[in-house]
């Protein structure tokens, strides 16, 4: 049996989850990355507290606290003190083009709204929408390359970094471009009268920056690509 004490800031969606992956320090006498063990912890265990944190953007994240939380050894994922390797694999899978799907949904909503408003014949509108569509197609191809690597038994570390980097920054560009295109009304949120694309432009602009941070910032993704794909010296 294991007893877990500690806290974690920014446990997003913990209020909806049934389990949480928890990386715990289990050996203080070895190198920091070697003394970690991964657990899959049920969030209904006694001693777990989830406190909501409201962000400036109106979204919720959480702080989670663990006070004498007991789990059996069956909750352990991988070897004792081998959690860093488990985390490395998990991060590789996390670096998927998730932002791509948000950009695809954004484009669908924008096209539908612009068509209903009779704006698709405007060259400026067509150009901006076409630019987003081109980036979305590149994101799809990068996502397929990652899927092919995983299907081939690889982790797809480089492919995942390429897909994550491109799609998150493409979503950021698309949101800024469409916000500029639709003007002041584009900052109206979902449910407000006159909000373009049902508030999708405003939400994407507010959320896009986050996608360039989670699962490793854009700078980290560039370093991974440079070192592992191009053989360049370490940048950090």
Closest CA to 178 of 103, 97, 99: 103
Distance CA 217, CA 214 (A): 6
Side-chain-side CA neighbours of 2 within 13 Å: the count stands at 23
Residues 94 and 215: beta-carbon distance below 8 Å: yes
Give the C-alpha separation, 23 to 32, whole Å: 12
Nearest to 130 by CA among 145, 116, 110: 110
Residue with tokens 């203080």: 28
Closest CA to 215 of 78, 64, 99, 83: 99
Structure-block tokens of residue 165 = 């980097």
Residues annotated as part of the active site: 94
In this structure, the strands spanning 48-54 and 76-77 are unpaired
Q: Measure the CA–CA gap between 203 and 194, rounded to whole angstroms.
A: 15
How far does Cα 107 stand from its chain's mean position?
A: 19
């Amino acid at each position: 049996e294991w007893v877990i004490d500690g806290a974690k800031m920014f446990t997003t969606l913990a209020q909806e989850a049934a389990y949480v992956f928890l990386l715990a320090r289990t050996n203080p006498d070895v190198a920091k990355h070697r003394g970690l063990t991964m657990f899959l912890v049920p969030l209904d265990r006694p001693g777990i507290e989830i406190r909501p944190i409201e962000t400036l953007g109106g979204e919720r994240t959480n702080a989670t606290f663990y006070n004498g939380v007991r789990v059996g050894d069956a909750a352990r994922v991988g070897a004792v003190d081998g959690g860093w390797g488990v985390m490395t694999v998990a991060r590789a899978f996390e670096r998927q083009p998730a932002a791509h799907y948000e950009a695809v949904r954004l484009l669908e909503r924008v096209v539908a709204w612009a068509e209903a408003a009779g704006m698709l014949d405007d060259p400026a509108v067509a150009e901006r929408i076409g630019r987003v569509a081109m980036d979305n197609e590149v994101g799809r191809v990068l996502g397929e390359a990652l899927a092919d690597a995983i299907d081939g038994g690889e982790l797809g570390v480089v492919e995942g970094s390429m897909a994550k980097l491109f799609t998150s920054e493409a979503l950021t560009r698309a949101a800024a471009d469409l916000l500029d295109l639709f003007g002041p009304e584009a900052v109206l949120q979902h449910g407000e009268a006159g909000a373009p694309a049902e508030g999708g432009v405003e939400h994407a602009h507010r959320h896009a920056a986050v996608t360039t941070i989670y699962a490793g910032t854009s700078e980290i993704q560039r370093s991974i690509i440079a070192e592992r794909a191009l053989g360049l010296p370490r940048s950090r």
